[in-house]
């Protein structure tokens, strides 16, 4: 595939064939050399064929192959005349990351890291099909949760007003219609609230290892040497089933609307069609479930910290910094070709990164820009970034979402054979707990790109700026 170098950190796939706009990939020279024969680039070009797409089909430096859209893909679709594609959101609707700070120092917590790991692992269910953190919800109660998001959690005592103010969209999409979620999706999700799940989902206890912007770090409550908690989880079986249900429905409906696309996994219908509106309503409900899921996990992790450290909850200084989603479609206004347009921004494995002053940001954070939380692998480091004005002009206010895989899960398990990964991680200063050794093998550090290089590309391209680096020392995996 032809690639044109625009800058040291930006490459373009020129329009060809059925592409309606060019494709653009944020990457450095070394990354692009590795990508040249990757099918994810074909997916960038395929996304550019979607009816109503504007600007460019975008890919972040953590790009890798996904379902329909590449993971790390971003597309803005005209809200009045374009389409909605579940492949541009993904199966794990509103998979996302939340970061909490504490008043505890690394020196205080390190001697109790084994006890903390055990307490977290025993408190927060993880793994395939995990359930039990919260007793199974009745259908009526689950419907309330799907409609109200974290407001439901606040009524149940799992959230505070402060939490609502530090979650993207306040932890609730008000377009949710619980009736648009299938009964089967309800059944899959009603026992999974407050569970990590499996795959790349995790809870990570870290220390603030390096501060790059002291003023911004102070404003966020990040202090060098202090302990933080990072949660990565999503909408579990409810979101997966919702995506599956609507991929089937939308795939069948495409013929009715005369939509032809180069990949059936891109299945799409007009945003304003009945099928498109139903999907958006169900997607919002699943997104609300995901926010509640991370909220309850945070509640449980605070309790586990207090028990492991022998401290009262008020002594922990445990407080939410921010929560971002990275598998979602949202209606936003962006300047395109010199004028403001309403678009539906699909972010698949990409994080919103609005710049300073944006009215959708919480008032307390508005002058900083949106916090962008970028987990790496479980052995090295994660990063806290801020969105910049450059993100608004080049990426529809979007950034990368993580390190991005280098190896498939099958290859990672093969490469891990005969190795004691738990001992290797211990040598890196990381205590890990997992339901299975296979879960650790699939997620070993070597299976991922170096997230520092991914973050460097985003900063060099003017999309985000670094605030702090976090170094993990306790990791809970599914």
pLDDT tens digits for range 301-314:
999 999 999 999 99
Distance CA 300, CA 290 (A): 15
CA angle 334, 14, 452 (to 5 degrees): 65
Q: Express each pLDDT in 461-475 by its tens digit.
A: 999 999 999 999 999
CATH superfamily of 4-477: tRNA-splicing ligase RtcB (3.90.1860.10)
pLDDT of residue 125: 84
Question: In sequence order, what are the residues at sequence separation of 6 or more whose Cβ sits closer than 8 angstroms to the Cβ of residue 222?
Answer: 101, 208, 211, 228, 321, 384, 467, 468
Percentage of the chain beyond pLDDT 90 is 91
* Torsion of the alpha carbons at 261, 265, 270 and 276, rounded to the nearest 10: 170
Residue with tokens 């492991």: 308
The candidate with the shortest Cα–Cα distance to 441, out of 476, 410, 472, is 410
Q: How confident is the model at residue 323 (pLDDT cuts 50, 70, 90)?
A: very high
Residue 55 pLDDT > 90: yes
Give the residue-averaged pLDDT of 283-300.
Answer: 97
pLDDT of residue 126: 80
Distance CA 247, CA 140 (A): 26
Query: pLDDT averaged over the chain?
Result: 95
Q: Express each pLDDT in 112-147 by its tens digit.
A: 999 999 999 999 988 677 777 787 788 899 999 999
Q: Express each pLDDT in 434-464 by its tens digit.
A: 988 888 999 999 999 999 999 999 999 999 9
In this structure, what are the phi and psi dihedrals at residue 74, rounded to the nearest 5 degrees?
-135, 135
Residue 431 pLDDT > 80: yes
Give the residue-averaged pLDDT of 359-371.
Answer: 94
In this structure, what are the phi and psi dihedrals at residue 278, rounded to the nearest 5 degrees?
-65, -45
Is 401 an active-site residue? yes
Give the residue-averaged pLDDT of 169-177.
Answer: 97
Domain range summary for the chain, segments of one domain joined by +: 4-477
Residue with tokens 């309850």: 296
Residue 395 pLDDT > 90: yes
pLDDT of residue 373: 98
Distance CA 381, CA 450 (A): 9
pLDDT of residue 134: 81
Q: Express each pLDDT in 188-228 by its tens digit.
A: 999 999 999 888 899 999 999 999 999 999 999 999 999 99
Given the residues 64, 166, 358, 401, select the one marked as catalytic.
401
In this structure, what are the phi and psi dihedrals at residue 299, rounded to the nearest 5 degrees?
-60, -45
Residue with tokens 């971003």: 74
Number of Cβ within 10 Å of residue 420's Cβ equals 11
Give the residue-averaged pLDDT of 155-165.
Answer: 96
Distance CA 235, CA 93 (A): 6
Distance CA 289, CA 273 (A): 25
Residue with tokens 């007003």: 161
């Amino acid at each position: 595939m032809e690639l044109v170098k625009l800058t040291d950190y930006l490459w373009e796939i020129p329009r060809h064939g059925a592409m309606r706009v060019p494709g653009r990939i944020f990457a450095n020279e070394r990354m692009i050399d590795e990508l040249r024969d990757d099918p994810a680039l074909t997916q960038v070009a395929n996304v550019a064929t979607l009816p109503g797409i504007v600007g460019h089909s975008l890919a972040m430096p953590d790009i890798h192959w996904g379902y329909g859209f590449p993971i790390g893909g971003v597309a803005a679709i005209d809200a009045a005349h374009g389409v909605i594609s579940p492949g541009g959101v993904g199966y794990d609707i509103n998979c996302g990351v939340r970061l909490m700070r504490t008043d505890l120092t690394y020196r205080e917590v390190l001697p109790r890291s084994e006890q903390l790991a055990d307490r977290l692992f025993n408190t927060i269910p993880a793994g395939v099909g995990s359930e039990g953190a919260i007793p199974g919800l009745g259908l009526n109660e689950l419907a309330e949760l799907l409609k109200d998001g974290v407001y439901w959690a606040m009524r149940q005592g799992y959230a505070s007003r402060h939490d609502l103010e530090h979650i993207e969209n306040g932890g609730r999409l008000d377009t949710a219609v619980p009736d648009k979620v299938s009964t089967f999706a309800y059944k899959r999700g009603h026992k999974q609230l407050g569970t990590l799940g499996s795959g790349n989902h995790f809870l990570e206890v870290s220390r603030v290892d390096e501060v790059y912007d002291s003023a911004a770090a102070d404003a966020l409550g990040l202090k060098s040497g202090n302990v933080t908690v990072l949660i990565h989880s999503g909408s579990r079986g409810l979101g997966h089933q919702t995506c599956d249900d609507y991929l089937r429905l939308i795939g069948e409906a495409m013929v009715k609307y005369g939509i032809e696309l180069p990949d059936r996994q891109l299945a799409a219908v007009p945003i304003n069609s009945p099928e498109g509106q139903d999907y958006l309503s169900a997607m919002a409900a699943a997104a609300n479930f995901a926010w509640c899921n991370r909220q309850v996990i945070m509640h449980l992790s605070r309790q586990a910290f207090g028990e492991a450290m022998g401290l009262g909850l008020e002594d922990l200084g445990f407080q939410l910094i921010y929560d971002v989603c990275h598998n979602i479609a949202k209606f936003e206004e962006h300047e395109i070709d010199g004028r403001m347009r309403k678009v539906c921004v699909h972010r698949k494995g990409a994080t919103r990164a609005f710049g300073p002053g944006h009215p959708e940001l919480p008032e307390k954070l508005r002058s900083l820009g949106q916090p962008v939380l970028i987990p790496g692998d479980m052995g090295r480091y994660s990063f806290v970034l801020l969105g910049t004005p450059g993100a608004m002009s080049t990426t529809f206010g979007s950034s990368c979402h993580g390190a991005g895989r280098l190896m498939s899960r099958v290859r990672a398990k093969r490469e891990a054979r005969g190795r004691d990964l738990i001992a290797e991680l211990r040598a890196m200063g990381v205590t890990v707990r997992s339901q299975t050794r296979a879960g650790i093998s699939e997620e070993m550090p070597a299976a991922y790109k170096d997230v520092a290089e991914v973050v460097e590309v985003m900063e060099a391209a003017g999309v985000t700026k670094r605030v702090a680096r976090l170094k993990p020392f306790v990791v809970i995996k599914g």
